Amino acid sequence: MSPKNVCRKVRFNKIKTIILFLFIGSLCLSCDGKYHPCYHANLQRTGACDTAPVKHMRPKWIFQTGGDIVCTPAIHEGKMYGGSNDRYFYCIDADTGRPVWKFLTKGTVESSPAIFRETVYFGSGDGCLYALNTDNGSLKWKYATNDPVVSAPLAFGSTVVFGSADGNIYALNAKTGGLLWKISTGKSVYSSAALAGNDLFIGSNDGYLYCLDASSGTPIWRTYLDGPILSMPSVDRGTLYIGSHSKELFAIERATGRIKWRYATEGAIHACPAVSGGKVVFGSLDHYLYCLNAETGKLEWKFLNNNVAYASAVIARGYVFYGSCDGIAYKFRLSNGKMLASYPAGDALKSISATPCIYKGRLYFGTLAGKFFCLE
């Protein structure tokens, strides 16, 4: 290749990268009260929403399904989307709680959906990733892996990325379902990906946090976190925050994978940390909800639940919303951890294992009793 052609290729690649960064940046602001399009609010999985917080924590409606609910719903154009272990994926009117349509898979639906360009993506225990039309629930395509898909897909540009219990991380063409690339970790991937720039971050049960090139899947770095990773990373500025089965929360330098600090709890951390206002909020299986200083990792406050904490917290304009396995949905003040309101949605046998989402000042979540709740 001539020097002139090399320069043209480099210039073209730079232009493509700039366009991708600008496009992704526009998507990162999507949790704005009109939409809550994917697990933990945005592509960085920060759980932070620029929307009106829930005021009273009173039920507006309750929708009953036929199985446990552990996925986090997504909101798009006035409709709520989410799955149940009754094998159905549901579309429900977000204002009234009335069913719009449902789609039957061949396995339990624990994967939290992602919505992009009038398509909703989710995984199933039957090993497939599904792409459905958001309006009527018709199947656009499905892609079969070798084991259950619990990982929450991440949709951006022309790509959807997810993990499978078969140990692989997949990237598919979002429109056709064709395979773009995949890499093997050797262990089940229950974690879900976060995106910053053109870098993907995802954990595996092999104990490594991976940084991959989003376009090609090429590994950039990987960092061992001392145990299986069921948590997913949250990216804020130049730092990733993620929990591990090692009972620690890690702050990791985005560019290099270097561990900046680690905070030890007494239980495994499955939740995705929520990051806002210089604070990191997460639950642990030691029954505590923690709030740390994002820069130093020092404890700012913690709250003792009556049971373990699988679900992740979300943050809206200085308030923390969180559901626990004690069956209670909570509202806290982010600055000091003061509990402001709560709602008993179940008990220890019918608890909240699903992360909530926020839309128009309402909180949406599911319980192990098979119910979707809308609180306002």
pLDDT mean for each 10 residues of the chain (376 residues)? 38 38 39 64 91 92 96 94 98 98 98 95 98 98 98 96 98 98 97 96 98 98 97 96 98 98 97 96 96 98 91 94 93 97 83 91 95 96
pLDDT value, residue 35: 52
Q: Is 17 helix (H, G, I), strand (E, B) or coil?
A: helix
C-alpha 67: how far from chain center: 21
4 and 143 in a common domain: no
Range of the domain at 115: 31-375
Give the chain's length: 376
Angstrom distance (rounded) from CA 169 to CA 155: 14
Report the run of H or E that residue 16 belongs to, with start and end: helix 3-27
pLDDT digits (tens, 9 = 90+) for 15-70: 343 334 333 433 433 454 445 688 888 999 999 988 888 999 999 999 999 999 99
Cβ contacts of 140 within 8 Å, gap of 6 or more: 119, 131, 132, 133, 177
Residue that the structure tokens 């656009």 belong to: 140
User: How many domains are there within the chain?
Assistant: 2
pLDDT value, residue 307: 87
Angstrom distance (rounded) from CA 145 to CA 182: 11
User: Residue 78 is part of a domain; what is its CATH number?
Assistant: 2.130.10.10
329 and 250 in a common domain: yes
Q: Do 252 and 221 touch, CB atoms closer than 8 A?
A: no
74 and 5 in a common domain: no
Cβ contacts of 243 within 8 Å, gap of 6 or more: 229, 231, 249, 250, 268, 269, 270, 271, 272, 273, 282, 284
294 and 348 in a common domain: yes
80 and 18 in a common domain: no
pLDDT value, residue 330: 95
Q: Is the dihedral of CA 83, 144, 311, 202 positive or negative?
A: negative
What would the DSSP string read from start to end of 313-368?
Answer: PEEETTEEEEE-TTSEEEEEETTT--EEEEEE---TTS---SPPEEETTEEEEE-T
pLDDT value, residue 40: 86
Q: Is the pTM of this model over 0.85?
A: yes
Reference 182, options 235, 146, 229, 225; nearest CA is 146
Angstrom distance (rounded) from CA 347 to CA 116: 35
Burial (0-12, 13-18, 19+ Cβ within 10 Å), 140:
middle
Reference 322, options 282, 286, 359, 362; nearest CA is 282
296 and 261 in a common domain: yes
pLDDT value, residue 356: 93
17 and 60 in a common domain: no
221 and 301 in a common domain: yes
Q: Do 315 and 351 touch, CB atoms closer than 8 A?
A: no
23 and 90 in a common domain: no
Q: What is the DSSP letter of 18?
A: H
22 and 55 in a common domain: no
Q: Residue 10: what are its φ and ψ, rounded to 5°?
A: -60, -45
Reference 117, options 213, 215, 38, 202; nearest CA is 38
pLDDT value, residue 46: 95
210 and 304 in a common domain: yes
What would the DSSP string read from start to end of 165-212?
Answer: TTSEEEEEETTT--EEEEEE-SS---S--EEETTEEEEE-TTSEEEEE
Q: Is 44 helix (H, G, I), strand (E, B) or coil?
A: coil
Q: Which amino acid is at 368?
A: L
99 and 127 in a common domain: yes
